[in-house]
Amino acid sequence: MKEIKLNNGVMIPQIGYGTYKSTTEDGYQVVLEAIRAGYRHLDTAALYENEEEVGRAVRESGIPREDFFITSKLARYALGYENTKREFETTLKKLGTDYLDLYLIHWPRPDYGDPDFDNWEKLDTESWRAMEELYEEGRIRAIGVSNFLPQHLKNLMKDSRVTPAINQLELHPGYLQKEAVDYSRARGIEVEAWSPIGRARLMQEPLLMDIAKKYDISVALLCLCFDLQNDFIILPKSTHRERMEENLRADEITIAEEDMKQIMSMQQAGWSGEHPDRETIKP
């Protein structure tokens, strides 16, 4: 599987397994099945409430911890220096590990309606300072952010010692967030796609259906191939072994340039409706 070199030299598998809503039932077994299918990059978060299941699957897989790349995320309700330090320890305990490969600030603002919603600049910089310290202590191999738009990154980086390694964004055909992607990449920040197939909202898009038929693949696989050819790190998720394995083969298919251009220029589609500056956001 292809790996991407982050700005600090750490290598990350380009295809990871997203665990959001993949572990609502029999979570441990679902993650273990993903590991057996070949995934070594696992993405979780405090808000997903499945860190314990992910950690158990890793331990009981029989595969050494160092063969995995494990990401977790700081919940938006825990922004701030002391909160970040405390939540990090809780995450390690739940995962049953003594280090993380990647730790992200999940959202740049607290929930809409939270008294600190408009105090996000200070909270973000405090959390980042705590994460920089954990990184410099060797307890996290790379640190980054999730759902950060240019204004959030600008604030975070104005006094930072460490440049974020990754910005995890909602990215898929019909929703490419070009400004955020370009701003991140111009600063050496790799871009990682959550909801890389639009949470199934794109499966009935006529353009995508026609192009997928041309390659004799599913629309879901077409979306993943498109994401990879845009050099995104991707986090597909499925609870079915056959689809897990299919998703891992996305890098074996090349979409022709003319088809890529059609997909790039399609109308906005599949957006989750979640925006860090606008509304209450669920994980």
Residue given tokens 């290598």 in the structure block: 11
**SS3 call for 175:** strand
Question: What are the two backbone dihedrals, phi and then psi, of residue 89, each rounded to the nearest 5 degrees?
Answer: -65, -40
Q: Which of 20, 48, 103, 175 is catalytic?
A: 48
Give the DSSP H or E segment for 63.
Answer: none
H helices within the chain, ranges in order? 27-37, 51-60, 81-95, 120-136, 150-157, 178-186, 206-215, 219-229, 241-248, 257-264
Whole-angstrom Cα distance, residue 148 to residue 125?
Answer: 13
Element (H, E) at 72: strand 69-74
Measured in whole angstroms, the distance separating CA 19 from the mean position of its chain's CA atoms is 10
Burial of 120 (0-12, 13-18, 19+ CB in 10 A): buried
Tally of helices (H runs) and strands (E runs) in the chain: 10, 10
Measured between alpha carbons, how far is 28 from 23 in angstroms, rounded to an integer? 7
User: Please, are residues 241 and 37 in contact by the beta-carbon 8 Å criterion?
Assistant: yes
Active site residue 77: no
Structure tokens at 234: 């991707």
Which of 251, 252, 207 minimizes the C-alpha distance to 231?
A: 251
Q: How far apart are CA 255 and CA 174, in angstroms?
A: 16
Active site residues: 48
